[in-house]
Amino acid sequence: MTNTPIDRRRFLQTASATTAAAIAAPSVWSPAKAQARQETLLIVSESGPNNLDIHGVGTNVPGYEVSWNTYDRLISHEMKDVNGTAYYDRDKFKMELAEDMAVGDMSVTFKLKKNATFHDGTPVTAKDVKWSLDRAVSVGGFPTFQMKAGSLEKPEQFVVVDDHTVRVDFIRKDRLTIPDLAVIVPCVVNSELVKKNAGPNDPWGLEYTKQTPAGSGAYKVTKWTPGTEVVLERNEDWKGGTLPKVRRIIWRMVPSAGNRRALLERGDADISYELPNKDFVELKDAGKLSIVSTPFSNGCQYLGMNVKQPPFDNPKVRQAVAYAIPYQKIMDAVLFGLGKPLFGASGSPAASWPVAHQYNTDMAKAKALLTEAGYPNGFETTISFDLGFATINEPLAILVQESLGQIGIRTTINKIPGANWRTELNKKVMPLYTNVFSGWLDYPEYFFFWCYHGANSVFNTMSYQSPTMDAFIDGARKAAAVGDAATYEKDVKGFIETAFTDVPRIPLFQPYSNVAMQKNVSGYQYWFHRRLDYRALVKA
């Protein structure tokens, strides 16, 4: 394989002085320099954060990584072993800012650690917890819908009992409520600091926290150059868990996959992800790096269609597209086997997710359906994707473009910068696009609440509305809350079959999260958000 060369001297010079000291090969060995290198992790990826606050408008997926490592939540998950990889345990929780959790019939009470402080030294109190949870359910957009997914909807649900005790009242029985308190969104924010930097048009201080984290987490952001670099230093006073082994994280954005691979192979970078799958296969075969591949929990890559826009308002057009997708070519030429097929199934789907649908590549059937829909000569449209994840999205879009062209659907590929992707997606103006969705809470009804429910305006980016679908999703959530297994299974199968018949989005495959690390790096954990948890990483 030929890699695009990178000027190593220029790469190092553009880093901060600390970065250069940490990663440049010293001319004279010294214990201090060796220690600095050992305590620094250099991560390289295709794209970086556009916002450091998970509550911000349009915060992209890389932004989740910063928020996860710089803020704490009341609780988090324990880990378990899955095929040799540390994997979050969906059903077991551990304390983070809380030292104790008492779950009652219609509420849960948290006792806070009395020695926890924010990065500026301010003590963490129950008032900060309430203000933060109030913020999450009030800012709108993704954070508020995430809270709603666990029936956390109103500020009145969050009650300060005393300085170190907070109670969360339930508005209904919902098995997703406690897990929803362990995701990225309900992070605890330094309320007094943020309020000082808020304004009448920005009461929650979102402009301030976009660039300045105000958390109590294990790491502090010391430098952020959008599109180039994030530098984080360990919070020596962190009380949310065991102090991390790695003192400094340097996260560099290197758009070229060839350059990222070269940096890994030379030992200049410690960790990378978002490489082409072909590279991961070759690097694994070479045996010089540690390669971890883990299926996305509750997730799939899909092709979405805006059902409010002609011609995709016609179900037969959507079914025609589903039969025209070159599924196996995508598996072979884009994924190189690092993915689970979600197509070509026979019989009724199981009551689990993700599962394969019945569509397979059948160009004759696709052409016939397009003719039945009134488009015998096809039509013109665009296919859009997130340029921040181009290593998968771009070859996938090209294969889809070629295949749709065979039935007369002429597409122009629209590449959207990663920093803008979430905003453009939520405008719901793209007629045809590819994207990944992975539900943070690993339950089928959670995925479908986000992606198919008519009341959801965030990730139901197809503008899909179906009373039948909504009834199945709502029914499954209610059945799960009271332990009615038979009704739950019926409703889960109902919403999956409805999704495959109406096909507003076409599942393509369940992706794998692929991470390449130097052999002396350990402690990698797979999390529901698929981003790195720096707190567990160790460098020998």
pLDDT of residue 16: 38
> CB of 217 within 8 A of CB of 70?
yes
Q: Where are the alpha helices (DSSP H) in 4-45?
A: 8-14, 17-23, 31-38
Q: Which residue has the tokens 């629209």?
A: 414
Q: What is the β-pairing status of strands 339-341 and 505-518?
A: antiparallel
The predicted structure's pLDDT at residue 37: 76
Is residue 522 predicted with pLDDT exceeding 80?
A: yes
Q: Which residues share a beta bridge with 220?
A: 233
d(CA 449, CA 463): 13
Neighbours of 69 (CB within 10 A): 25
Just give the CATH number of 90-195: 3.90.76.10
Q: Say whether pLDDT at 298 is over 60.
A: yes
Render pLDDT for 37-62 as a digit per residue (tens, 0 to 9). Answer: 789 999 999 999 999 999 999 999 99
Does 29 score more than 50 pLDDT? no
473 closest CA partner among 456, 453, 459, 490: 453
pLDDT tens readout for residues 320-376 = 999 999 999 999 999 999 999 999 999 889 999 999 999 999 999 999 999 999 999
CA distance 48 to 33: 28
Distance CA 188, CA 215 (A): 7
Distance CA 260, CA 42 (A): 11
The CATH number corresponding to 8-68+217-288+519-539 among 3.40.190.10, 3.90.650.10, 3.20.20.10, 3.30.230.10 equals: 3.40.190.10
First to last CA, the chain: 30
pLDDT tens digit sequence for 179-214:
999 999 999 999 999 999 999 999 999 999 999 999
Confidence check: pLDDT of 5 > 70: no
The pLDDT of residue 32 is 59
Count of alpha carbons within 13 Å of 46, Cβ hemisphere only? Answer: 19
Pairing assessment for the beta strands 219-225 and 379-386 based on DSSP bridges:
unpaired
Query: Are domains 90-195 and 299-512 of this chain identical in fold?
Result: no
Q: Coil, strand, or helix at residue 488?
A: helix
Architecture of domain 299-512: Roll (3.10)
For residue 517, pLDDT over 60 is answered with yes
Domain spans of the chain? 8-68+217-288+519-539, 90-195, 299-512
The DSSP letter of residue 124 is P
255 residue type, one letter: P
Cβ atoms of 385 and 425 within 8 Å: the answer is no
pLDDT tens-digit map of 429-448:
999 999 999 999 999 999 99
| pLDDT (0 to 100) of residue 33 | 62
Q: Sorting pLDDT into bands at 50, 70 and 90, what band is 456? A: confident
Residue 248's DSSP bridge partners are 40, 233
Mean pLDDT across the chain: 93
Distances 374 to 131, 308, 369, 381, 499 between C-alpha atoms, Å = 55, 17, 9, 16, 23
* The pLDDT value given to residue 434: 98
Q: CA–CA separation, 96 vs 79, rounded Å?
A: 14
